[in-house]
């Protein structure tokens, strides 16, 4: 069990519990809560929280003893009070670059472990610059991107590295295939990010000024070029998501990734026309997001709280295939599961919070990735919860 804060009233507080992914995460926790878990749902609307608690109580075995906490991102004192009552805070309140900072600040200052679902590099970089040092002082672990962004990629690369020899240069390529359907919250976060490229670059620059240089080791995650990848039998399109940056940070922090590590992150698409169409659609969305009136009209099409229904989610799947090489060995691995954006994301967030609260983990503090903070313990939890991590072949 974590050394931190065992005297606090709750092991886990879930903030944003009444949103789309928040509700799925609350249902997951209620269905899988270990005996004696002390947890609370938190959000800005007391009425919605009470209705959610009633539903959880009626339907699920672990629903009986759930606390309710009111907190609003526009009221920093309420976030501080929330952080002080929890050993671990899990939050789904995004776009994080708009709504997230005060809670990170409160957790860093009160020594409270923190997990979120952000896929926003600007937010992660700013939180590093502003709150990493304080979190190191208090012992808080600040774990961003604990959903489909970036758990399968970060833990998948970590798992692949563990199959390769130690102490030699390593390369890992990740190839993602996933069904994508947006919730209102994800769509809003994506549009918001597309419109903020200047802020994104400035935050990355600021981070580089603050981050200590690696001595005697290298870790990189360059954007690859589009290509046909015979090793996975698909077209590989470079994916400029946060995932490559997260994998690189794990490689910086952990010697096991060797003296010279390189990761490249791709979408894998079987048919060339689909690949070309996908690039054009994203390009059109990025362009439209630059114009405020178009952005508003787009975001009106999918409201906060909306998202794909249970049938659509039940048909959705993801797979991330990795090809790792080093020391004369080539290894093929895969991480795969069900609906990536929502069901599996809720599972990853909940299991991440449970892992921080209860697993015997390596010492860590400050802004850390899932591989650094939880590594094998979270892989074991996700495997037990139905997400596959497997070695497909070694040559």
Burial (Cβ within 10 Å: 0-12, 13-18, ≥19) of residue 47: exposed
CA 77 distance to own-chain centroid = 26
Nearer to ligand NAP, 139 or 184 (CB): 184
Q: How far apart are CA 265 and CA 153, in angstroms?
A: 9
Residue 285 DSSP code: H
- Dihedral sign from CA coordinates of 12, 248, 221, 237: negative
Q: At 25, list the tokens.
A: 């995460």
Q: State the minimum distance, in angstroms, from the CB of residue 182 to ligand NAP.
A: 8
Q: State the minimum distance, in angstroms, from the CB of residue 90 to ligand NAP.
A: 11
Nearer to ligand NAP, 124 or 170 (CB): 124
Strand-strand pairing, 218-220 and 39-43? unpaired
Nearer to ligand NAP, 241 or 331 (CB): 241
Tally of helices (H runs) and strands (E runs) in the chain = 16, 15
Nearer to ligand NAP, 154 or 173 (CB): 154
Nearer to ligand NAP, 99 or 194 (CB): 99
Residue 213 DSSP code: P
Q: State the minimum distance, in angstroms, from the CB of residue 381 to ligand NAP.
A: 17
Among 260, 254, 236, 252, smallest CA distance to 325 is for 260
Q: State the minimum distance, in angstroms, from the CB of residue 345 to ligand NAP.
A: 4
Q: State the minimum distance, in angstroms, from the CB of residue 165 to ligand NAP.
A: 32
Q: At 247, list the tokens.
A: 């994998």
Among 332, 337, 309, smallest CA distance to 322 is for 332
Q: Provide the 10 A C-beta neighbour count for residue 86.
A: 30
Q: State the minimum distance, in angstroms, from the CB of residue 246 to ligand NAP.
A: 11
Q: State the minimum distance, in angstroms, from the CB of residue 361 to ligand NAP.
A: 21
Among 363, 344, 368, smallest CA distance to 149 is for 344
Contact positions toward ligand NAP, by CB under 6 A?
A: 16, 18-22, 43-45, 48, 72-74, 92-96, 99, 117, 119, 147-149, 183-186, 189, 304-305, 307, 341, 345
Nearer to ligand NAP, 73 or 221 (CB): 73
Whether residue 372 contacts residue 251, with contact meaning beta carbons closer than 8 Å, is answered with: no
Q: How far apart are CA 97 and CA 190, in angstroms?
A: 11
Nearer to ligand NAP, 76 or 226 (CB): 76
Q: State the minimum distance, in angstroms, from the CB of residue 373 to ligand NAP.
A: 16
Q: How far apart are CA 103 and CA 174, in angstroms?
A: 32
Nearer to ligand NAP, 20 or 158 (CB): 20
Nearer to ligand NAP, 34 or 310 (CB): 310
Helix (H) or strand (E) holding 392: strand 388-394
Q: State the minimum distance, in angstroms, from the CB of residue 313 to ligand NAP.
A: 12
């Amino acid at each position: 069990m974590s050394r931190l804060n065992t005297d606090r009233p709750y092991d886990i507080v879930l903030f944003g519990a009444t949103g789309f992914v928040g509700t799925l995460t609350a249902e997951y926790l209620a269905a899988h809560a270990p005996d004696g878990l002390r947890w609370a749902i938190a959000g800005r609307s007391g009425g919605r929280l009470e209705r959610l608690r009633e539903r959880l109580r009626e339907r699920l075995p672990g629903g009986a003893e759930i606390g309710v906490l009111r907190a609003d991102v526009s009221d920093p004192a309420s976030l501080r009070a929330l952080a002080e009552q929890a050993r671990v805070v899990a939050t789904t309140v995004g776009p994080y670059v708009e709504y997230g900072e005060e809670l990170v600040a409160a957790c860093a200052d009160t020594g409270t472990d923190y997990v979120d679902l952000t896929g926003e590099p600007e937010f992660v970089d700013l939180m590093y610059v502003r709150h990493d040092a304080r979190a190191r002082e208090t012992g808080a672990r600040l774990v961003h991107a604990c959903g489909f962004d970036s758990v399968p990629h970060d833990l998948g690369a970590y798992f692949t590295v563990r199959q390769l020899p130690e102490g030699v240069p390593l390369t890992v390529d990740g190839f993602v295939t996933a069904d994508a359907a947006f919730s209102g919250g994800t769509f809003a976060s994506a549009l918001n990010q597309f419109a903020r490229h200047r802020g994104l670059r400035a935050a990355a620059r600021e981070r580089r000024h603050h981050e200590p240089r690696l001595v005697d080791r290298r870790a990189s995650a360059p954007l690859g070029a589009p290509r046909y990848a015979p090793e996975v039998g698909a077209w590989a399109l470079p994916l400029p998501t946060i995932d490559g940056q997260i994998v690189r940070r794990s490689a910086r922090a952990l010697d096991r990734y060797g003296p010279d590590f390189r990761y490249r992150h791709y979408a894998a698409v079987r048919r060339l026309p689909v690949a070309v169409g996908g690039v054009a659609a994203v390009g059109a969305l990025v362009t439209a997001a630059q114009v405020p009136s178009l952005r508003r009209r787009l975001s009106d099409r999918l409201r906060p709280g909306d998202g794909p229904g249970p049938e659509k989610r039940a048909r959705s799947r993801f797979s991330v295939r990795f090809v790792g090489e080093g020391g004369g060995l080539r290894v093929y691995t895969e991480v795969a599961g069900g609906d990536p954006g929502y069901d599996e994301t809720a599972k990853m967030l909940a299991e991440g919070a449970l892992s921080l609260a209860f697993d015997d983990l390596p010492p860590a503090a400050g802004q850390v990735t899932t591989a650094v903070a939880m590594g094998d313990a979270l892989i074991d939890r996700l495997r037990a919860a139905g997400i596959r991590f497997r070695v497909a072949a070694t040559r």
